[in-house]
A and B are shown apart, each in its own frame.
Chain A
Amino acid sequence: MEAGKPIKISDENFEEEALKSEIPVLVDFWATWCGPCQMAGPVLEKIAQEYAGRLKVCKLNVDEGRQTATKYGIMSIPTLNIYKNGEVVDRIIGVTPGYEADIKGKIEPHLE
């Protein structure tokens, strides 16, 4: 994996990349058809860079990850799920007015 950049994942490697990760993982459930998802993109790239080594940022296109999206009850995109030791520990739905700060606020408590 290239440190500091979001990683593209799918149903096939979701378990390996997200659930079995040794560090917390932020998974962005998104799709090409979704305008707000495009807005979220650059913010997540920034987060990936800033927390490199401490947090893994993954992007799951729901077209390629339907099973995973269904399993985790994703009914709106973008949704960000935070996984730690294979469990969802927090979630952010939609893009919020202070998105970057909101994401940081939710991930910080789960970082070592």
Chain B
Amino acid sequence: MTNATHDVIIVGGGAAGLTAGIYASREGLDTLLLEKWLCGGLAAETTSVENYPGFPEGVHGRNLMEKFKQQAQRFGTQIVEYSGVAKAEPLEKKVKIKTDNQEYDARCLIIASGGTPKKVNVPGEDDFYGKGVSYCATCDGPLYKGKDVAVIGCGDSGLQEGESLLAHVRKATFIEFLPYMNAAKILQERLQKSEKTDFLLNHMLASINGEDLVSSVTVKNRQTGEERKLDVSGVFIYTGFLPNSSFLGGIVELDTSGYIITDENMETSVPGIYAVGDVRSKRVRQIDVACGEGTIAAISARDYIKELI
């Protein structure tokens, strides 16, 4: 790896980061993308992506993201996987990026570091992680063949991934804290029609119970206060995400939840540093939105670099 200054460093190889890579490379910018694990991001863990335009039959998240990666590489984005960024430091007209074993300089930084599944923080959640508690239905669903499970959270992720469980489990009970579901209407309707599903709205997860493995969950009706136990072998948690912004150590402005604040050009409070995708403070988190943001950030970076030189 040379010590030359890159035009753009992108942190994170999900939909937003890879799209930024495609656009930045096509602008002739020397573009390096650092990915903590393997490229693909959250989208790669989705069994069937149905709302990304261009795939009327739906597409497996991992296959879709593999194509994003190939497209970025085709135009010259250098991708380094297994390379988590530990620190970013803004200097005069450039940014220094440190991974565990490398240092890089860039004129611009595009942060596309996404989020990590949020815990519910109830008794049993940590103790039974991997013993019935899961944050990845795609990974663990097939291990629950013929069993009863609970899905916590009825947003898009909960219902979409919960639906992928129905191919394996005997019954899935969906538990939602709010009195209504936030998932797309079509998902709600499809799942409510299934004979394998049950819904408990306005209920909160109180605890996850068992001996060696999960055997039940306790849920509480938020209106009446009544508690009840559901016998389940698995608990799949989809209660949202936490932004991966702590490595920035406060160099850019964050909102109260830790998401990065940007303007409409995706620029953060520091000129030349951009934030895109799930780590950015906003309302809608979808693959196509992430792509749009990656595009805007790459074009903004191009214009910023033009001014620098």
Genuine A/B complex? yes
Residues on A lying within 8 angstroms of B by beta carbon are: 31, 33-39, 42-43, 62, 69, 73-77, 79, 91, 93-95, 97
Please judge, given known A-B contacts A39-B37, A42-B82, A73-B213, whether A31 and B142 are in contact too, CB under 8 Å: yes
Residues of B within 8 A of A39 (CB): 37-38
Residues on B lying within 8 angstroms of A by beta carbon are: 36-38, 40, 44-45, 62, 82, 84, 129-134, 136, 138-140, 142-144, 212-214, 233-234
Q: Evaluate contact between A35 and B62: CB separation under 8 angstroms.
A: yes
In whole angstroms, how far apart are the Cα atoms of A36 and B36 in the complex? Answer: 12
Q: Evaluate contact between B138 and A33: CB separation under 8 angstroms.
A: yes
Q: Evaluate contact between A35 and B44: CB separation under 8 angstroms.
A: yes
Q: Evaluate contact between A76 and B45: CB separation under 8 angstroms.
A: no
Residue of B nearest to A101 (CB): B100
How many residue pairs, one in A and one in B, have C-beta atoms under 8 Å apart?
A: 66
Q: Evaluate contact between B129 and A76: CB separation under 8 angstroms.
A: yes
Residue of A nearest to B144 (CB): A75
Q: Evaluate contact between A93 and B213: CB separation under 8 angstroms.
A: no
Q: Evaluate contact between A93 and B62: CB separation under 8 angstroms.
A: no
Residues of A within 8 A of B138 (CB): 33-35
Please judge, given known A-B contacts A39-B38, A75-B213, whether A33 and B130 are in contact too, CB under 8 Å: no
15 contacts between A and B (CB under 8 A): A31-B139, A34-B136, A34-B138, A36-B136, A62-B142, A69-B143, A73-B213, A75-B131, A75-B134, A75-B140, A75-B213, A75-B233, A76-B129, A76-B133, A76-B134
Residue of B nearest to A38 (CB): B38
Q: Evaluate contact between B82 and A75: CB separation under 8 angstroms.
A: no
